Each structure stands twice: as C-alpha cells, then as structure tokens.
Structure 1
Amino acid sequence: MLEPVINFFSRIFYFIGRGIGFLVGIILWPFLWLGSWYGQRGIILKAVLGLVAIVWLGLYGYFFYNTQAWTNFNPDYISVYDFKNRNVPAGEPVAAAAAGTPAKSCARSAIVEVTADLTDFNVNQNGWISSMLLYKLGFFGVDWDNTPFLDNKASFQRGINSAVRRTAVELVDTLGRVRGTSQIDGDLQKARGNLQFTEDAWYFGLNPFGPKTPTPSYYRSAVRDLRTFNSKLETCNAIFDARADNLIQFIDRIANDIGATSAILKDRSENNNYGWFDTRADDRFWFAYGQLYAYYGLMNAAQVDFNQVLQEKHLTPLWDGMDGQLRAALNIKPWIIANGKESGWLLPNHLTTMGFYILRVRSNLIDIKQVLQQ
C-alpha cells in the first residue's frame, strides 16, 4: 500500500533534481562556452586574457576582503579614552605644572578627538567601500545597495560619516569659536569642507569627465585638520566655547538627525516588509547602526567637553541614561537583517527594533535639552 506514496514522492524529487540540474546548467553555460572559446585562441591572446582575468580576480578578492573585514570594530570603543577620569572642560586651563604638563596648557576637545578618530577608523583603519571601483560598478550593473550582500559595511561607514559631518558643521558654526565675536577657525573650516566631499569619488569620473582625487584623500585631510585644531587648543591657541546654549544647539541637531533616520526606517518597515527578501533593509539598518555607533562616542565626548554645564544643571544621571540607550542599541547585530511585518510571528523586524532604540535616544536628548533651557 505504501508503494504508490513512495512512487509519488520519488517522482517529485526526480523532477526537483532535474529542475536544479537545469538551473545549474543555465548558470554554468556561459562559463563553459567561454572556456571552450578561450581554449581555441592563440597563445598571445590567451596570455593577455589570462592576465586580465588575474587582475580582475585580484580586484574582486581585495574588494571582498575589505567588505568583510571590519578592522577595529568595537561597540565599546569609548573605553580607550578613559572619559570618566577626564573632568576638565574643553579649552579650559589644565592645572598641573606639578603633574608634568607645560605651564600653559588647556584641555583638548574630546568631541574633536572622537570625530577625528571615527574618520580615521573609516578611511585609514578600513578601506572606504563607497568609492571603490567595483562598488561603483555594481553587481553586473546592479547597484550593490540593491543586492543582499557586500554592502553592509559601506552603509555602516556612511552612517558614521553622517554623524561626523553633522558634528563638523557644529564645530565650525558654534563650538569652535565664540559665536558672533570671533573668526571661524581655519582648521575646523577645512575639516568641514573636506568631510562634506562626495562619498563615492574614485580616481576617475565621468561627471565632470577626467581624473579626480578619491574620497578617502579628502577625509584623511580632515583627520589632520581636526588633530591640528586640538593641538592648538592644548596650547591655549584656539577656542572651544562650551556654553549651555551651544550644547542645546548641538543636541537639537543630533535629535533632528537621528529623527530623520527613524522616519526612513519606519517608511521602509511599513512599505517593504518582505522579511529576508527586502534587499534594502540591510542598508537602512547598518546606516542607522553606524550613526548610533558614532553618536555613542560623540555623546560621551560631549559629556567631557561640557562637564561644567552638566554639573551645574545636574544632568549627569539623565546623560548616563542616554548613553545606556545608545550602547544597548549597539547590541543588535543580527547575521541577516529581516524586515518582517510588525504583526508577524515568523520573521522579525530588525528595522522596527532599531527604530525603537533611536526614538528612545531621541526622547532622552529632548529631555536633556528641556533641562538645559530652564
């Protein structure tokens, strides 16, 4: 009696096997044809084509390695700064000829230091993915952002860069000078200009046509400019205006920045909830993750630079709570990003989860802003 059932399933598996074999044959056919064609060519043409193939494979190997190797990625990266033991606001005199410092010495800006280090992490410790030739060419002409692979690191780096750009603007406009009474610092202005440079420039471009300076070169210059400013600040030859109204504006800009990211996540979650088959969900997620990764360090740095303001307003507990929310968000590192329905029971929605943490951080920022305004 079981024989008909066995025969039924045997036929099913037979046809499944035939279908898989047919699909594999279609995929391999161009390569088999190319191998046959290559075998019939002359030795000189073979050598030239072989060299081209080796170079091409080498480029893809380099590209694959850079997209997968996240050098010095560490959600607890702020621990190396020892911020808890730094209690002198940025630009304020450091008392310590007795502690071995020069007679005239001021505190460096932790915000500037973290901004420079995050950019250094993006372009010196790691390869900048967005301007690599193979990333620009895409996957057989399809933008890598529209595929489910090899684009997560690029989105993460762009998220960090978004936070760094915002911070550079605030450093130039308010934090790095006494607003309305002093000139813009030249090094901060150069850093801001370099960080605003397009994220995808390679050595050659079509619009405009001709050779170009690649993106990482501009960002490396910004790192040097930021560190030059901090060196001037340390010798009391620059200004860092750590006033409450400047902190209010800085917080307000960051709240708006992550609020826009939250809206992007919400839109993607509601209108493209295809589970594991949403090829843009990973881009949105890792951009948001990179943004929070950067702001986690920058907010800890701001706690040092504006230490006196926070002490006067008794904001340390509230600020620590915001830091805790930022750090908790960095624990979300799923292997595959899923954009399932919020009411679904099978597939998770990682975009909604990340958006939830972003809104909590934004709520904390608004609370801090309100206390500062009192």
Structure 2
Amino acid sequence: MLDPVVAFFQRIFSAIGRGIGTAVAWLLWPFVTATNWCRERSWIIKGPIGIGVLLLVGFYAYFIWQTQVWSGFNPDYVNAYNLAQRKQDAGVASGTAATTPATGEIAEPAPKTCVRSAIVDVTADLIDYNVNQNAWISSMLLYKLGLFGLDWDRTPWFDNKAAFQRGVNQTVRRTAVELVDALGRVRGTSGINADLQRARGNMQFDEETWYFRSNSILPTTPTPNYYRTAIADLRKFNASLEACDAIFDGRSDNLIEFLDRISNDIGSTSAIIRERSEFHNGGWFDTRADDRFWFAYGQLYGYYGILSAAGADFDAVIKARGIEPLWTESIKQLRSALNIQPAIISNGREDGWIMPTHLATIGFYILRVRSNLVEMRDVLAR
C-alpha cells in the first residue's frame, strides 16, 4: 500500500538532488575548466596566473574580514563622553573672571575659554568610526563589483555593515547641514563658519567612489578621504569654539528646527521600512530586508549619540522649557532600539507565526522616537 507513496517521495528527492548537483556543477564549471587548461600549460603561464589567483584570494579574504568584523561597535558609546558631568551649554564662555590670591595682589585674568559642542564631537567621532576604525565598505572595489555583477545589496551576504555605515552617515550629513545653516551662526544673519561649510561639503560627497570611476580613466580621490577631511574640519571648528573664536547658537528655535529635521529624516526611513515590510514580506528569503534593517539601525545608532550630545549642548533650554523627562525618555527609547541585533534578518508577515518580522520591530522603535521628537518640538514651540 505504501510502496507508491515511498516511490513518489524518492522521485521527488532524487529530482531535488539532481537539481542541486546541476546548479553546483554549473557554478564550478568555469573553475574546473580553467584548472584543466592551466594544468596543460608551462610554468611561464602558470606562474603569473597563480600569483593573480593568490592576490584575488587575498583581496577577498580582506573583503570578507572587513565586512564581518565591526571594530569599535558599542551601543553604549555615548557613556564615554560623560555628558551628565557638563555644567554649561555649548559656546558659553567660562574662565574669564580675575582672581585675587591670599597675598592681596590682583592676579591676571584666566584665559577666556568657551564650552565645546558635544554635537560636533560626536559627529566627528561617528565619521572616524566609519572610515578610520573600520574600512568604508561602500567604496571598496570588491563591494562595487558585487557577486558576478549582482549588487551585494540584492544578496543575503556582505552588505549588512555597508548598510549600517550608510545609516550612520545619513545622521552625520543631516547634522552637518544643521550646523552650517543654524547652529554655527547667529540667527542666520552672521557669516557661515568656513570650517563647518567645508565639513558639510565633504560629507555630501557620494558614498561609492573608489580610486577610479567608470566614466574616467584618471584617478580620483576616494570617498573615505573626503570624510576624513570633514573630521579635521569639525574638530577645527570645536577648537575655535573652545577659544571663543566661533559661535554655537543654542537658542530654542534652533533646537526646534534641529528636532524637525531629525524627525523628517527618520520619518522617511520609517516609510521605506513600512513599504518593504508590507509588500515584500518574504521572511528569511527577502534579500533586501537586511540592508533596510541595518540602514535604519545605523540611523538610530547615530542619532542616539547626536541627540544625547544635543541634550548637553541645549541643557539650559531643555530644563527651562520643562521637557527634560521627555528628552530622557527619548534617549532611553533610542538605546532600547539598539538592543535589537538579530543574526539573520527576517521580513515575515506581521501576523505570521513562523518567521519573525524584524523590519516591523525596528519600524516600531523608529515611530516611537519620532513621536517623542514631535512632542518635544511642539512643547518648545508653544
């Protein structure tokens, strides 16, 4: 009675086995053919080919290492800044009072100094994390070549770190624009700070340039070099600010505008997450879910530091307007979102019970943070 059923399943599994064998043979055919061809050639031909193969293997080993090892990744990186210990807002002058020692002689006034901007420090350090502590993946040659010409973002492999870096980079670009347009000048009427202007320009450079481009035979400056220059520009601004030669305008309307821009930024990401989650919910088989997830995660990672720094730079405004509890809760929610670190990203249905829905989960945290930002903005605008 069971023989026909057993025979049926045997035929099914046999067909699957033949299909897998055919696919493997098709993938290995170029390598087997090349090996057989080289075996019949002299060492004059084998030598250069062997060296080329070794170099290619070395490049891929380096590429795999850089994409899988996340140096310096720390969801609690904000703690290193000791922002709670700061006593004054960014740009506020300190150390200007003269002192009278016990001898009764009038001492020289202490050198005038101003408080550095924590936003600028965190922004510079986020860029440093992306391009100095780690290799910038998006402009690496092997990343640009993809898998047999297929973009790595369309595969399940080697794109998570690149997407995360681009998410962090999005927060840096947004912050650099706000520093130039509002925070680094007085009411928009003073001149634009040259250091911030250069930093913004360098951060707007595209994310994928290698030493050569497809439309030119001349060498060019790769993306990471532009971003490294932006680090120097930002730190130069903060040095000028500390010497009271630059401006940080910590007014409430600037904070309102800053929160507006961040809210719009993560709102756009939320829309992308929603679209992918709603119309492409293929569970573990959605090969684009991982780069969507890690881009959003990188954005939250970056804004966790930048908004924590903004809390220190605008401390007086936050306390005066009574939004300190709401601000603290927003920071906690950002940190909670960083606890979501699945090994494999699944874009399952929201009502599914087999495959998880990581995109909907990260989207929920994004909406919570955005809701708090909008609420704080409304309170400040009253």
TM-score in terms of structure 1 length: 0.95
**Residue 288 of structure 2 corresponds to residue 280 of structure 1:** yes
Q: Which runs of 5+ in 1 are unaligned?
A: none
Q: For 1:325-364, what aligned pairs fall within 5 Å after superposition?
A: 325-364=333-372
Find the counterpart in structure 1 of residue 195 from structure 2: 187
> Normalising to structure 2: TM-score of the pair?
0.93
Residue in 2 aligned with 1:263? 271
Task: Say if 1:177 and 1:241, in contact at 8 Å, map to a contact too.
Answer: yes
- CA apart distance, 1:3: 7.9
Contact 1:174 1:241 in 2 (8 A): yes
Aligned to 1:306: 314
Look up the SS of the partner of 2:213 in the other structure.
strand
Partner AA of 1:49 in structure 2: I
- For 2:185, the equivalent position in structure 1 comes to 177
Tell me what 1:108 maps to.
116
Look up the equivalent residue of 1:89 and give its one-letter code: D
28-37 vs 277-286, which deviates more? 28-37
Cα distance, 1:211 vs structure 2 = 1.3
Amino acid at match of 1:25: A
Counterpart Cα distance in 2 of 1:331 and 1:321: 16
Runs of 5+ unmatched residues, structure 2: 100-108
Give 1:1-374 correspondences, 5 Å limit. 16-95=16-95, 103-374=111-382
- 1:115 and 1:298 in contact (8 A); partners too: yes
Deviations 1:316-359 (A, max 9, x none): 11000000110111111111111111121111111111111000
Corresponding residue SS for 2:174: helix
Shift in Å, 1:4: 7.9
How far apart are residue 19 of structure 1 and its match? 4.6
- Give yes or no for contact 1:119–1:164 (8 Å, CA) kept in 2: yes
Residues 146 and 152 in structure 2, CA contact (< 8 A), matched pair in contact too: yes
User: In structure 2, do the counterparts of structure 1 residues 51 and 223 end up closer, same or farther at CA, with 3 Å as the change threshold?
Assistant: same
Change (3 A) 1:15 1:169: closer
Q: Distance in 1 between matches of 2:10 and 2:259?
A: 65
Q: Per the alignment, do residues 102 and 355 of structure 1 end up closer, same or farther by CA in structure 2, a change over 3 Å counting?
A: farther
Partner of 2:103: none
Per-residue CA distance 1:270-312 (angstroms, 9 max, x = gap): 1111111111111110000000000000000000000110111
Letter in 2 for 1:55: L
Q: Secondary structure at the match of 1:41?
A: coil
Distance between the aligned counterparts of 2:151 and 2:110, measured in 1?
54
Q: Distance in 2 between matches of 1:61 and 1:96?
A: 56
Count how many residue pairs are aligned between Structure 1 and Structure 2.
Answer: 372
**How far is the alpha carbon of 1:8 from its aligned partner?**
6.9
In structure 2, distance between residues paired with 1:52 and 1:86 = 56
Aligned 8 A contact 1:173 1:179 in 2:
no
CA RMSD of aligned residues (A): 2.0
Deviation string, structure 1 residues 188-241 (Cα, Å, up to 9, x no partner) = 000000000010011011234421100000000000000000011111111000
Report the AA paired with residue 332 of structure 1. Answer: I
1:120–1:223: 8 Å Cα contact kept in structure 2? yes
Change (3 A) 1:250 1:273: same
Contact residue 172 and residue 302 of structure 2 kept, 8 A: yes
Cα distance in 2 for residues equivalent to 1:23 and 1:373:
62
Instruction: Report the alpha carbon displacement of residue 138 of structure 1 after superposing the two structures with TM.
Output: 1.0
Distance 1:207 1:3, change over 3 A: closer
- C-alpha separation in 2, matches of 1:4 and 1:136: 52
Percent identity between the two aligned chains: 60
